[in-house]
Amino acid sequence: MNWVRGSTTQSLTLWSDSPETTVIVPVVSLRAQNIPASPIRRLTPLADATASRGVHVHRLNIGQPDVHTPRAMIEAYQTYDEPVLAYGPSLGIPALREAAAADYARHGSAVDASDVIVTTGGSEAIRFSLCAVADPGDEVLVFEPFYANYLGFAAEYGVHLRAVSSSIDSGFHLPDIETIEAAITERTKAILVTSPGNPTGAIYSSEEMSRLGEVALRHDLFLISDEAYREFAYDGVKVTSALTLDQVLDRVIVVDSVSKRYSACGARIGFFVSKNPEVHQAAMRMAFARLCPATVDQRAALAAFATPQTYFDEVVAEYTRRRDVLVDGLRQIEGVQTYTPEGAFYTMATFPVDDVDRFAAWLLTDFSLDGETVMLAPASGFYSTPGLGTKEARIAYVLECEALRRAALCLAAAIPRYLESGRGALPRA
């Protein structure tokens, strides 16, 4: 039998046992075709091939921390002992909702357990948010570069992400209010922000968060604030939660996750926080439909909330050192532009090549220094405006200082060699 692509409007084909019959195969939805491939994992096959040749790859493309998970979380798995691994409540185990609410209260936000819905990772909280605020064809305002997977979730829901560009020159802080407002249309339903930022590491100041609240209030928008990196703030910079914006509290949705905070990315526990009853009920109905988050992961997340502050102090001190090693190393490379990110564990950098996608692939296929090379996340996938970010990469400082130092040396050696090869030379001025 022959298979050909088709669609329901193209033809009807009769059932037949003949192996010669041509059969029309239906095509996947347009939205599924619009979901982009992950810019973070796109080069993984090349990197695996490089590693199999015996070249060590410093994987700075992905935000998988090497920090140890709090031991109490691991022990929560080890002590699990029930005869029946049953469904939990759809909104999450009450003790976990209470622990999360108490944690927000410690950070200055008046959140009740009833405002919190436990989700399957921050990812599900993002999905709930987009679905709760926007219908197909509606728009959500984002600041590019932004977390690339927002594009995937938006495509699933038929929501258009309208991006306002931020620049490496300001360390990816917010543009002025007029620039933000100019991007708002009749279809705009929400502003979606990430602070501390992925991929930028920027932490929006209290004034910037208030600016977003002001725009949300003026234009009748929801404010979705992805605060998954809340604990990762350096040099004493303060993270302002959207939950402290009293004047717009009813339109705030906070997306949160235990993944980064407790180095527990595999636990898939996040939080959807809203004090707006209609938003809460919308998310609740979505939560009921998918039954519940993982039962044992919730036990582990509950144990995580007892983690002492000293754990975070050590983690923050270590990431501060790593950031400094990486940024110092990048600054010594001619033609590379970077800045000092205030939080998360990423920085963006501009490279003196015309296409970082090609340069990043070349680093894996054609380059090594003393048997080592570097894997970057090309930044184009973090932008939705075509052509932006082609000279930028996101670099995650999730490895130890010595590896980051060697990675920077690799990049310093690679750039002139790449330019000399003539493959990625910028046109001379």
Of residues 251 and 391, the one with the C-beta less far from a copy of itself: 251
Contact by Cβ (8 Å): 96, 302: yes
Quick one: 99 or 216, whose CB is closer to a copy of itself? 216
The only residue of 112, 169, 220, 314 in contact with a copy of itself, by rule CB under 8 A: 220
Contact predicate 140/191, CB 8 Å: yes
Pick the closest to residue 255 from 126, 370, 366, 381 (CA basis). 126
Q: How far is the CB of 224 from a copy of itself (least distance, A)?
A: 12
Among 217, 401, 409, 419, binds a copy of itself (CB under 8 A): 217
Whole-number minimum distance, CB 218 to a copy of itself, in Å?
A: 6
Q: Among 131, 361, 401, 409, indicate the residue that binds a copy of itself (CB under 8 A).
A: 131
Q: Find the binding residues for a copy of itself in span 22-61 (CB under 8 A).
A: 23-33, 35-38, 41
What is the bridge-based pairing of β-strands 222-226 and 22-25? unpaired
Token pair 């809203």 is at which residue? 274
Min dist CB 126 to a copy of itself, Å, is 9
Rounded alpha-carbon distances, angstroms, from residue 96 to 101, 252, 286: 9, 21, 19
Query: Is residue 178 involved in binding a copy of itself (CB under 8 A)?
Result: no
Counting contacts by CB under 8 A, is residue 74 touching a copy of itself? yes
How many angstroms separate the CA atoms of 218 and 214, rounded? 6
* Helix, coil or strand: residue 329: helix
Take residue 371 and report the two structure tokens written for it: 């048997």
**Residue 157 or 312: which CB sits closer to a copy of itself?**
157
Task: Return the residues of window 77-116 that contact a copy of itself according to CB under 8 A.
Answer: 77-88, 90
Q: How far is the CB of 94 from a copy of itself (least distance, A)?
A: 13
**Rounded CA gap, 277 and 312, in Å?**
33
Ranges of beta strands (E only) in 199-276 are 222-226, 252-257, 270-274
Name the minimum Å distance from CB 176 to a copy of itself. 15
Q: Which of 297, 342, 357, 392 binds a copy of itself (CB under 8 A)?
A: 297
